[in-house]
Chains A and B, each alone.
Chain A
Amino acid sequence: MKEELILDVKDLVVHYELEEETVYAVNGIDLQLRRGETLGLVGETGAGKTTAALAILRLVPDPPGVVKSGTITVAGHDMMSVSAKELEEIRGKDVSMIFQYPMTSLNPVFTVGEQIAESVMIHEHTAKEAAMERAKEMLELVGIPGSRANEYPHQFSGGMKQRVIIAIALTCNPKLLIADEPTTALDVTIQAQVLELMAALRKQYGSSMIMITHDLGIVAESCDAVAVMYAGRIIEYGTLEDVFNRTRHPYTEGLFNSLPNIRDRARALKPIKGQMPDPSVLPEGCAFAPRCPYATERCTQMPPQEHRFGGTHRVLCSAYDDPAFHIERGRQNG
């Protein structure tokens, strides 16, 4: 039986068309998410993760951002063709987003209560008093005393601001929650708290979630599926098992190798050599080829081919044209 798809993105292409250059931020990605599922969207800074997420809410700043092609379906809504009014109804209700920078993502001149209540008033058409009551409940839910609803963002710490942002995002019980590096700007001690809170609330509400992060530890703890992005494309996509235990793509392998290993402290870290290509001048062939230890001449000339393994695992790498090909990590794991 096919479960209901909350999110279905097909061949999404987003460019930033600046006067002097075009930035190829997202270059044809496919994403599917079922009810209650969590997808980890992993990649370096500049890989196009945030742009992809913003495109799902149609929030890519335009100009200069342009969604060149693709279809985005969120909870049955065709996001590319809905009207501005419908879009306002979908945002915050069907899909909402938690942003990366809690320090700047709250409006400094409105109370946190007002900022949570606004969402309730928009989507549930309640009066202000009732909405403020809901706001207080939401604050309690994220571990902030409801009595602080009348305080302003500058009176809260970074971790608490992120909780407020989570409260705003969850207020109207969205079917899809997109969390863009929700803990990157927070202290490590607060990170764990916020992640636990999000996991608990998600379970309670049954929301699907996209967790954007560059922290593979967070992915391992909280995600069912993983998509690894590089230079605007998803280069490896599968279940957590697929990507973590049956890693296929040389870039994903590089990511794992560059993690410190607590059981082998003496070993030097193995960073991936080189830099991600400038997204305004992408190479003709595989974007990772210049940094890839397995790259052949063919990789730099031809766009990489997608290969499927099992029902769920997709890898964008031409090396698998040769059925005997194995990355090192793959060999170790058998």
Chain B
Amino acid sequence: MSIQKFTTIKTSCVPLPVENVDTDQIIPARFLKATTRDGFGKNLFRDWRYDKQNQPVTDFVLNNPTYSGSVLVAGKNFGSGSSREHAAWAIEDYGFRVVVSSFFADIFKNNALNNGVLPVQVSAEFLQKIFDAIKNDAKAKVEVNLEKQTITLVATGESENFEINPYKKECLLNGYDDIDYLLRNKDKIEAYEQNREINL
């Protein structure tokens, strides 16, 4: 088993300058009834994207053909709320490989990384620069380099470093998954079980 490898991408962006985008907005609960991981992308941001009659809401960014690309740029505290991994599946299935924000909710961050989606946390200032660049040119590109841990506005060359823990970076660069790692370490887990003083 493996996750999709991530190295470098250069792409235009989809801007969503809203704060506290919670996982109920990313994928509403009524679409969590599946028993597989497939096909969640079509309901990504369902209630912002479609109206009651299931018609596309024209001023929502995913329905605006001006914007495209595999980087979603969102306001601070992205992915708050429910632990549903379906949110990460929906983002990945829709075609995003990176989400940029100035702040991510913890569980979402783990879920994204476990599905080959890279959460890139930037400063509030740099986030604003990206939003401004997209405002000036809807096709403005960013380059995300995981090896160097940089995100760069291609037009101006302005760049910022982002954090990722070295283990997760290795996983993404190589497409490794955590379960393989844990399965390889089962002897350690069994040794831990045998040596516990308090067994709850």
The judgment on whether A and B are partners is no
